[in-house]
Amino acid sequence: MNLRTDSRQFKRINRRELLKLSPVLALGAFAVPRLQKPLLKTGLAFSDWASARLFRSGHLARTFDDSELTPFARFPINGYDVDDPGVDFDNWTLTVSGAVQKPGDYTLAQIQTLPKFRQNTRHVCIEGWDVIGRFGGARLADFLQMIGADPAARFITVQCADDYYESLDTATARHPQSLLCYEMYDQPLTREHGAPLRLNIPTKIGYKQAKYLTDLKVSHVLEKAGYWEDQGYSEFYGL
């Protein structure tokens, strides 16, 4: 026995110990409607901060053998409103703006003068499904050099023909597997998969793989994170 007490005193001890647990009630803040949204936003922002810290620019996403590819017909087509926004291929250009030395309109032929890379990588959808696809295109890093992007810029934002919009941090954009993709399964992109140009970023989640690109902007501050980000998805979502 190292504590001698009476029942009244013991009750007081118990009450004090119980009160010590009151910080647990702080979690009740999540049940308050007015506080819930900002709290969850903070939680998501913290996760994004951690995600950015975890990203390693030299670490490659796993690549797969041709035998492991999901058949092209089973590679899901995930448009946010239309499968085919009716891009006019003959007059298509990628309009570049922002913190770059050479803004302007770039044709597909100009982009295709850059070295072409092909990769079999995993496409992971935020819903939980995943497929392995074959992608071909120019490195985004090479294109950023072509347009003379400010090395100090922090974000790349893209606009799409179907009003979709997305963003990337420049560290991810300069990753060797980040492609301005114009081929899937060694064929020119089909309209449903984002012709003539889409993003293929194997270190990012599916909704970052924007299709039917029309505009690309290099910037120091993030003006628009992305369509789904504005609905409440993570801004960074690196894999």
Residues that bind other proteins (CB under 8 A): 1-8, 10, 13-15, 17-18, 20-21, 23-24, 27, 30, 39-44, 46-47, 51, 54-56, 59, 61-62, 70, 73-76, 122, 124-131, 202-203, 228, 231-234, 238-239
* Nearest-approach distance from CB 142 to other proteins, in angstroms: 21
Closer residue to other proteins in complex, CB, 133/196: 133
Contact 147, 100 (CB under 8 A): yes
Nearer to other proteins, 51 or 112 (CB): 51
Query: With contact defined as beta carbons under 8 Å apart, do 197 and 108 qualify?
Result: yes
CA atoms of 209 and 220, how far apart (whole Å): 21
Give the closest residue to 149 by CA, choosing from 210, 97, 201: 97
Compute the least distance from the CB of residue 101 to other proteins, in Å: 32
**H, E, C per residue of 108-154:** HHHHCCCCEEEEEEEEECCCCCEEEEEEEEEEHHHHHHHCCECCCCC
Q: How far is CA 92 from the centre of its chain?
A: 25
Give me 217's structure tokens: 């902007």
Least separation, in Å, of the C-beta of 120 and other proteins? 14
Give the nearer residue to other proteins in terms of CB position, either 121 or 214: 121
C-beta of 50 vs 82, nearer to other proteins: 50
Smaller CB separation from other proteins, 46 or 89:
46
